């Protein structure tokens, strides 16, 4: 595995990389934090336009900025995943399969712990606000959707939390809503990691110290949004990905450590009680539900920030935005790692971005029957039967311990003559290889509570079905049909002649 070279160390480096690629738009006119900045960001997703950097935010302190769409699809021609790749410090031309392979392979590397730097080497310490000065009212915190329950300050930042015994430090993303200048609330739901760690503090009856980080190394929010196993520190994973440690600095009020290059760091405690009403919020499925819930309260006790800070925002909604790119790539990498670790031959995994993280596609090589361990294929003459056995084994791994294995409602298993990241290729394969009713296996168990395709009672109980669809073709030489495509339906001399004369004038 090749480590990234000259990867951006902070959000400003990421912005510079996007600008060099022609994938950044500086918005210099005055823009309001109240819906307008989010509306521009949302339209940039839907038009696959450059990422907007808002340099004049009305109602905020002079020089305080917002940045939208930091890791969505890129406007750079021929490089749709450039923002995603650059977020990870990887070349912008990487394919979907290469991105997923890199993240899956990083799981098996030894973690590289973060490196503690002095305060005077940490840009996030340029301004330290305490007491009444530590108020959210100073910052251009956006209202994202008109129907939201409030202004959402955390859509692309990480929450730093640690178990009471100090054995696990977690960096994760969860939405957080501003209540007022000194209080916030957000989703704290087990089995999400922030919920698991918070429960440990509830058991001992003490509020949980936290730090909320905006900005920093662009890999930080990306990795904070992918499903690493319980107990794995994201900082060590990012260090392994980059081949060098992440630089961190001590918080002002606790022993927590935060990325030294962060734009803004908010410190305080998370209450033991669920005493605040949070939501609704327009989520990744593409709808704004009318649901709210009682959640704990984050107190704001200290804020540190860089000069002229940049606050990143994600205007989450219909695909494709950062939830779909980050969660899609991250969960696919998690599942791919676990299936390969179980010895199953899988070419790649991909969560189709426009399916709003509700589908997962796995592709396998044509000779998977020879590669599948512990199978005597000589005893099976019906290729459909042994393909169903293969799909069942995949289901066992995904249901039995893979953290990402139950985070999609439907899983499609296809041959790798299809590129699952090519929507045209994928739609054709799903339409022609997935039987309307047969060759599907239902696995009941835990589900993601924000998946819109489930019934309300299933979402409330966080339990429901995940369906695995067997779309595998017969073995080569046993009835597999060639494609009626340019690449397969015509001999090589004809193809060459057609291509040689393709640009000839009429």
**Catalytic residue IDs:** 283
Nearest to 223 by CA among 411, 87, 24, 346: 87
Length in residues, the chain: 506
Nearest to 314 by CA among 87, 93, 101: 87
Sheet holding 348-350, edge to edge: 348-350, 359-364, 410-415, 463-470, 440-446
Three-state secondary-structure class, residue 74 = coil
Three-state secondary-structure class, residue 15 = helix
CA dihedral in degrees (218, 180, 149, 461; nearest 10)?
Answer: 80
Q: How far apart are CA 174 and CA 154, in angstroms?
A: 7
Is the omega angle on the peptide bond into residue 320 within 30 degrees of 0, that is, cis?
A: yes
Q: Report the DSSP pairing between strands 157-162 and 115-116.
A: unpaired
Q: How far apart are CA 85 and CA 99, in angstroms?
A: 7
Q: How far apart are CA 233 and CA 231, in angstroms?
A: 6
Cα–chain-centroid distance for residue 78? Answer: 22
């Amino acid at each position: 595995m090749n480590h990234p070279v000259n990867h951006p160390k902070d959000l400003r480096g990421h912005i510079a990389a996007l600008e060099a690629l022609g994938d950044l738009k500086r918005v210099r006119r005055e823009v309001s934090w109240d819906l307008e900045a989010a509306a521009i960001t949302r339209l940039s997703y839907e038009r696959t336009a450059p990422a907007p950097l808002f340099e004049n935010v009305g109602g905020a302190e002079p020089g305080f900025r917002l940045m939208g769409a930091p890791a969505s699809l890129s406007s750079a021609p021929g490089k749709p995943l450039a923002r995603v790749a650059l977020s990870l410090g990887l070349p912008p031309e990487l394919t979907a399969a290469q991105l997923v392979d890199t993240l899956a392979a990083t799981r098996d590397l030894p973690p590289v712990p973060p490196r503690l730097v002095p305060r005077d080497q940490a840009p996030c310490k340029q301004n330290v606000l305490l007491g009444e000065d530590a108020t959210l009212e100073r910052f251009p915190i956006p209202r994202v959707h008109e129907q939201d329950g409030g202004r959402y300050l955390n859509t692309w930042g990480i929450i730093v939390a640690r178990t009471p015994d100090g054995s696990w430090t977690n960096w994760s993303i969860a939405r957080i809503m501003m209540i007022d200048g000194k209080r916030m609330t957000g989703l704290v739901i087990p089995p999400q990691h922030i919920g698991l760690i918070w429960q440990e503090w509830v058991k001992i009856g003490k509020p949980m110290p936290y730090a909320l980080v905006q900005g920093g190394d662009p890999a930080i929010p990306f990795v904070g949004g992918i499903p690493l196993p319980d107990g794995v520190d994201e900082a060590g994973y990012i260090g392994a990905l980059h081949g060098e440690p992440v630089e961190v600095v001590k918080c002002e009020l606790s022993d927590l450590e935060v990325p030294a290059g962060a734009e803004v760091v908010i410190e305080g405690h998370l209450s033991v009680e669920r005493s605040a009403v949070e939501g609704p919020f327009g989520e990744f499925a593409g709808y704004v539900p009318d649901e709210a819930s009682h959640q704990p309260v984050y107190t704001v006790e200290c804020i540190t920030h860089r000069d002229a800070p940049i606050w990143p925002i994600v205007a989450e909604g219909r695909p494709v935005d950062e939830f779909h790119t980050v969660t899609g790539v991250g969960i696919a990498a998690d599942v791919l790692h676990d299936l390969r670790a179980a010895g199953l031959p899988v070419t790649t995994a991909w969560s189709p971005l426009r399916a709003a993280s509700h589908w997962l596609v796995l592709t396998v090589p044509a000779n998977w029957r020879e590669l599948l361990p512990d199978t005597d294929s000589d005893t099976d003459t019906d290729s459909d039967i042994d393909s169903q056995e293969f799909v069942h084994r995949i289901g066992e791994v995904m249901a039995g311990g893979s953290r990402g294995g139950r985070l999609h409602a439907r899983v499609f298993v296809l041959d790798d003559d299809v590129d699952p990241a090519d929507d045209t290729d994928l739609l054709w394969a799903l339409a022609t290889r997935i039987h309307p009713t047969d060759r599907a296996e239902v696995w009941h168990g835990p589900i993601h509570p924000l998946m819109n395709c489930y019934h309300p009672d299933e979402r409330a109980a966080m339990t429901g079905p995940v369906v695995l669809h067997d779309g595998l073709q017969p073995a080569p030489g046993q009835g597999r049909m060639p494609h009626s495509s340019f690449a397969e339906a015509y001999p090589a001399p004809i193809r060459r002649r057609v291509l040689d004369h393709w640009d000839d004038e009429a």
